Amino acid sequence: MSQDALIGLGANLGDAAATLRAALLDLGALRGCALLRVSGLWRSAPVDAGGPDYCNAVAELRCEHTAPELLRQMQDIESRHGRVRPPGMRNAPRTLDLDLLCFGELRLQLEQLILPHPRMHERAFVLAPLAEIRPDWRLPDGEAIGDALLRLQRAGQQVRKIGELEARG
């Protein structure tokens, strides 16, 4: 049975916008998946980390895989785009970061995957592009996405739309 998956895309090393466009093509080409919606491209300062600003986006896929299988394929895409995971370094600058935010209504707690994503409600760089493609969506705790985004912006998290994220092949 197919599920709709929300995926956060981010990068802050190299040509981040080009990397996100390429990753979007890779996501759309996954066997058993169809790209449904894509946000624009957003810029934000790193949260709980250093380094250059991030480019961010959110994509929605309809997927026939299980959530762990989709995660594995997303990690393969990250690796192909030069993603390195230094041991003991969380939130290090990266060429590509793909986060599985939600997978239908699935609630899951595995060592390598927690769904819904446990920190998405704390990140304006996730909520702004998500609100663009799913403005009526509610966070798992019931908070409206627009209210959550406003709360984070008032707390100092700023995001700015910098363009469209069109996958061109």
21 an active-site residue?
Answer: no
Write down the pLDDT at residue 169: 43
- Name the pTM for this structure: 0.91
Beta-ladder partners of 108: 115
Write the DSSP assignment of the chain as a string of letters.
--EEEEEEEEE-SSSHHHHHHHHHHHHHTSTTEEEEEE--EEEE--SSS-SSPEEEEEEEEEESS-HHHHHHHHHHHHHHTT----TT-TT---S-EEEEEEETT--EE-SS-EES-TTGGG-HHHHHHHHHH-TT-B-TTS-BHHHHHHHHHHTT--EEEEE------
Residue 72 has φ and ψ, to the nearest 5°, of -60, -45
Among candidate residues 99, 119, 138, 151, the one labeled active-site is 99
Cα gap 138→119, rounded to integer Å:
14
Confidence of residue 165 (pLDDT cuts 50, 70, 90): confident
Residues 114-146: tens digit of each pLDDT? 999 999 999 999 999 999 999 999 998 899 999
4 an active-site residue?
Answer: no
Domains of the chain, residue spans: 3-163
Look up residue 35 and give its amino acid: L
With a cut of 50, say whether residue 168 has pLDDT above it.
no
Among candidate residues 21, 43, 83, 123, the one labeled active-site is 83
Three-state DSSP at 31 gives: coil
Answer yes or no: CATH 3.30.70.560 is held by domain 3-163. yes
Residues 54-96: tens digit of each pLDDT? 999 999 999 999 999 999 999 999 989 886 766 666 666 688 9
Among candidate residues 94, 134, 141, 147, the one labeled active-site is 94
76 an active-site residue?
Answer: no
Write down the pLDDT at residue 144: 96
Among candidate residues 21, 26, 43, 97, the one labeled active-site is 97
Residues 7-49: tens digit of each pLDDT? 999 999 999 999 999 999 999 999 999 999 999 999 998 877 7
Write the CA distances from 103 to 21, 73, 116, 140, 154, integer angstroms. Answer: 22, 14, 7, 12, 29
123 an active-site residue?
Answer: no
